[in-house]
Amino acid sequence: MKSSTVLKHTGGFFDYDQAKTRQEELAALTADTNLWNNQQQALKLTSEKNILDDNISYYENLLSSIKNSEEMIEFAEAENDEELLSELYHHLEQLKTTAKQRELMTLLSGEFDHNDAYLEVHAGSGGTEAQDWAEMLLRMYTRWAEKHNYKINYIEETEGEVAGIKSVTIKISGLNAYGWLKGETGVHRLVRISPFDSNARRHTSFASISVYPVIDDTINIEINPADIKMDTYRSSGAGGQHINKTESAVRLTHIPSGIVVSCQTERSQFANRDQAMDMLKAKLYEIEQRKKNEASTQKWEEQGDNGWGYQIRSYVLQPYKMIKDLRTGTETSDDRAVLDGEIDLFLSSYLASRQQ
């Protein structure tokens, strides 16, 4: 096994020469005594430098380890030492595995990839069927978050009349939460034998996912108060602090964009409004950033109905089992594992596809 065999997993995403040049630039910029006159810029540059220093150190150590292993392999082959050869090849396989894992981390290089994330689930048309599907997706994402030791906070939840949920917003807190989940925005389609159909017919259901980053006060978003419509209502669902007692829950509608955000988990109407404003600002900022980075902005201006034209993933449970990402072609027949939160296969393949 040669060095290129191990490094092919990182070579397409990490340009060492370019990284060293940028490292020198950042070293000079962060050494400037006037840097902290602009705290926002200083934090951005020092964060970039720390991440880049870590990546370069890892890459150099990996190269050194591979070189040493190859020299030892040549020695073991000359001495016909099969036991040593086996150990060395096993070590190289471990390096290959860690290089692959490191590659995934290098994909999380967006401006907000290291941030916490808001995740919204909305049931599509179809009544109880779609609402049950929305709850299944909520469980899938919360189980994924738990497996990665992320913290989950419920912001808003509206239950279905019979089963499931109409909508829910959760905050997932932890390093790289937004970076991993950002590709989940879109419509998810389920095909199954309905547990609510007495004739056991096959049904197709839709639910939409929206993911956007939690941003801090260093990002200045101007919103005209006249552009916001505020409604209050009684909290309901698992996230409510004052279920059906007071109208503490708040729903904000940004009239120019049509964006709607809600919060019901805080103890007062004022606190819920502040949380909802933070969500609205984050959503507006993230949409603007995506518009700049996308060749076509239409998909971010209007996601459209929760139906056929906007699907990103299909979950077929009947008449066969197949979960397939329609953007990357990644698929698996292990539906139980996926719906139990094992979605890293889809998350990583999406990130890799965006770099190609």
Q: pLDDT by residue for the chain (356 residues), tens digit each?
A: 444 444 443 344 567 888 899 999 999 999 998 888 888 788 878 878 887 888 888 889 888 988 898 899 999 999 898 999 999 988 888 888 788 777 777 778 777 888 899 999 999 987 899 999 999 999 999 999 999 999 999 998 989 888 899 999 999 999 889 999 999 999 999 999 888 877 778 889 999 999 999 987 667 788 888 999 998 887 665 444 334 446 788 999 999 988 999 898 887 888 888 888 888 988 888 787 777 666 433 443 344 455 555 799 999 998 899 999 999 999 999 999 999 999 999 998 998 887 75
Query: What's the CA gap between 51 and 55, in Å, rounded?
Result: 6
Query: What's the CA gap between 356 and 342, in Å, rounded?
Result: 24
What contacts 71, CB < 8 A, 6 or more positions away? none
Q: 91 φ, ψ to 5°?
A: -65, -40
Query: What's the CA gap between 172 and 78, in Å, rounded?
Result: 54
Q: Give the number of other Cβ atoms within 10 Å of residue 52's Cβ.
A: 18
Strands 331-332 and 165-173: unpaired
C-alpha distances out from residue 281 to 17, 91, 175, 248, Å: 38, 48, 21, 21
**What type of residue is 348?**
S
CB of 157 closer than 8 Å to CB of 265: no
pLDDT of amino acid 190: 95
pLDDT of amino acid 237: 52
pLDDT of amino acid 6: 45
Query: What's the CA gap between 208 and 165, in Å, rounded?
Result: 12
Q: Give the number of other Cβ atoms within 10 Å of residue 296's Cβ.
A: 8
**Helix/strand/coil percentages in the chain, nearest 5:** 50, 20, 30
Query: What's the CA gap between 270 and 249, in Å, rounded?
Result: 9
Query: What's the CA gap between 329 and 162, in Å, rounded?
Result: 35
Tens-place pLDDT, residues 161-180: 888 999 999 999 998 899 99
Query: What's the CA gap between 157 and 170, in Å, rounded?
Result: 9
CB of 321 closer than 8 Å to CB of 333: yes
Tens-place pLDDT, residues 276-318: 888 898 888 878 777 766 643 344 334 445 555 579 999 999 8
pLDDT of amino acid 14: 65
Where in the chain does DSSP place strands (E)? 117-123, 151-159, 165-173, 186-193, 202-213, 228-233, 249-254, 259-263, 311-316, 322-325, 331-332
- Assign 331 to helix, strand or coil: strand
**What type of residue is 119?**
L
Query: What's the CA gap between 272 and 124, in Å, rounded?
Result: 26
Residue at token pair 């502040």: 274
Q: DSSP code of 38?
A: S
Query: What's the CA gap between 283 and 68, in Å, rounded?
Result: 49
**What type of residue is 35?**
L
Give the pTM: 0.71
